[in-house]
Amino acid sequence: MNRHVGWLIVIILLCLFAGWVSLPDTQGIHWDSNNDGEVDVVLDVRQSLGLDLVGGLRVLLEAELPPGSFTAADLQQAANNVARRVNALGVTEPTVQVQGSNRILVELPGITDREQAIETIQQTAALEFVDFSGLGGQAQQFVGRRILTTQQVIIQQQREAAAAAEGISSTPEAAEPEVPPAVNPLTGQPFETIMTGADLQAAVAQTEFGNWFISFELTPNGAAIFGPFTQSHIGQPLALVLDGVVLSAPVIEARLDTGGVIQGTFTEQEAKQLALQLRSGALPIPLRVESAETVGATLGQESVNLSIRAGVIGVVVVLLFMLIYYRVPGIAANLALLVFILLNFAIFKLIPITLTLPAITGFLISIGTAVDGNILIFERIKEEMRAGSDLDSALEVGFNRAWQSIRDSNFSTIIICGILFMFGQTPGASIVAGFAVTLALGLIVNLFTAVIVTRTFLHLIVALLRRPIQQRAWLLGV
């Protein structure tokens, strides 16, 4: 009995914590432990809803290059890079899907800053390391100016070929006159690009004395290019160029094999966004926004209301069935089922799980599996009682022998959920992954509630009502 009282205390503490987490206004635990003005996140709690429930942004991107100039692998790589950028925006379950031979569909649930999202997704973040050898003091005159590089010439030729293939004039419409990009004053030709951002392995925004900069590391291929070049050009300026604009032109002071820093007049947001774009990989294909629309949540809210109504009705029916058919054990099962639901709600916010309609469906199905485990236990107890076992022996044998069936059935379903989750990683199939995750979590929680929680409640109820139960076997459903 002491063991069951101990488990009861644990269950009560878990329910109190889960109830606090599940409250709509709970944001977690945050405080400034060092009094340095920066809030430390000890426990972050948030509810994430999918595009079909909360609305968001749907963006259709189209390649600017002609179909024959890139492969399907290039388009998929661009989609993967976009997905990494989207995840860093704080979207937990985006949909990034290749459509046709030259389009990428991006769905961002809950995104409110439309312009920033589009800019982060679309911008190529074409970082170039450009040779400024021989310019000496003139190099600083180009900082902040747009220059023409050999890499940009290649990209422009590809875009012109794409425009010609589509029958579109590559000549821009009459607008405000633009200052032509500067060329190398020593040669009259475009500046030579030594290396691009494709050879970056990592990029992190950092600050020192209030100045923000980006620290970067190179891939082995980048190191093979950058190391020998910097060694042979010590004392010469090297330009760091982003999307054609010179960020800085530092003088090479030593051989650089592993990486360096990108300096400029960055704000915190600009530095973090640039670092995100660089470490997500420069898009191998220039993309333009074909369409961008804000998806309203009206239909989603209606679906949520219907799902909640169906879930509540289903739970009430299950509770009534367990109470009427199993009587006293049904009381324990109903209490365990309420604990099961509360724990799942808390887990959804702690991870957090993005709730879409399929994810909610997976959770509702897991409620059925939770009840199924209790039915196996209670039927086994009834068999032992009919065979002449005393009450305590029937309870012990019922839980012990039903455990193997509960374990095997749940594990087999969890394996299926794992397979569904792996297939759900395919672009456009993330809703399948959401269904698999919520169902698997429910099955795992069920292994705890169906055995430990139900056992604890049933033993305590039997201890309180032992005499009436022994005199009236029908209270156990026998």
Residue 329 sits in the same domain as residue 309: yes
Mean pLDDT of 79-108: 74
CA 75 → CA 104, 261, 414, 422, distances in Å?
8, 30, 34, 21
Is residue 266 predicted with pLDDT exceeding 80?
no
Residue 400 sits in the same domain as residue 359: yes
Is residue 165 predicted with pLDDT exceeding 80?
no
Q: Using CA atoms, how far apart are residues 445 and 443, in angstroms rounded to an integer?
A: 5
Q: Using CA atoms, how far apart are residues 102 and 399, in angstroms rounded to an integer?
A: 58
pLDDT, tens only, 371-380: 988 999 999 9
Q: What is the DSSP string of 142-189?
A: GTTSBB-BHHHHHHHHHHHHHHHHTT---SPPS-SPPPPPB--TTTSS
Mean pLDDT of 288-313: 75
CATH number of domain containing 192: 3.30.1360.200
Residue 305 sits in the same domain as residue 426: yes
Domain stop point among 248, 265, 282: 265
For residue 429, being part of any structural domain is answered with: yes
pLDDT band, very low/low/confident/very high, at 171 (cuts 50, 70, 90): very low
What letter represents residue 302's amino acid? Answer: E
For residue 315, being part of any structural domain is answered with: yes
pLDDT, tens only, 174-233: 444 467 889 999 889 999 998 887 777 778 888 888 788 888 888 888 888 988 998 998
Please state the domain count of the chain: 3
Q: How many helices (H) and strands (E) does the chain have?
A: 14, 15
pLDDT, tens only, 243-257: 788 877 888 888 888
Scanning the structure block, which residue is given the tokens 């950058």? Answer: 226
Q: Which residue has the higher pLDDT, 47 or 317?
A: 317
CATH number of domain containing 424: 1.20.1640.10
Could you tell me what percent of the chain has a pLDDT over 90? 24
Nearest to 95 by CA among 288, 282, 295: 295
Report pLDDT for 434: 84
Domain stop point among 265, 286, 318: 265
Mean pLDDT of 452-457: 94
C-alpha torsion 264→265→268→272, nearest 10: -30
Token output for 439:
């169902």
Poorest-confidence range of 106-110, 121-125, 147-151?
121-125
Question: Are residues 219 and 203 in contact, defined by beta-carbon separation less than 8 angstroms?
Answer: no
Residue 348 sits in the same domain as residue 427: yes
For residue 175, being part of any structural domain is answered with: no
For residue 133, being part of any structural domain is answered with: yes
Residue 76 sits in the same domain as residue 133: no
Nearest to 373 by CA among 310, 297, 249, 458: 458
CATH number of domain containing 87: 3.30.70.3400
Residue 111 sits in the same domain as residue 220: no
Residue 104 sits in the same domain as residue 194: no
Report pLDDT for 173: 44
Residue 318 sits in the same domain as residue 224: no
Token output for 43:
């426990």
For residue 9, being part of any structural domain is answered with: no
Residue 414 sits in the same domain as residue 338: yes
For residue 174, being part of any structural domain is answered with: no
Residue 452 sits in the same domain as residue 417: yes
Tell me the residue length of the chain.
478
pLDDT, tens only, 56-72: 788 888 887 777 777 88
For residue 416, being part of any structural domain is answered with: yes
Residue 234 sits in the same domain as residue 107: no
For residue 442, being part of any structural domain is answered with: yes
Is residue 170 predicted with pLDDT exceeding 60?
no
pLDDT, tens only, 399-433: 998 998 999 999 999 999 999 988 876 655 667 88
Is residue 299 predicted with pLDDT exceeding 60?
no
Q: Which residue has the higher pLDDT, 366 or 143?
A: 366
Report pLDDT for 168: 52
Residue 250: which domain range?
126-144+180-265
Could you tell me what percent of the chain has a pLDDT over 70? 82
pLDDT band, very low/low/confident/very high, at 342 (cuts 50, 70, 90): very high
Residue 429 sits in the same domain as residue 305: yes
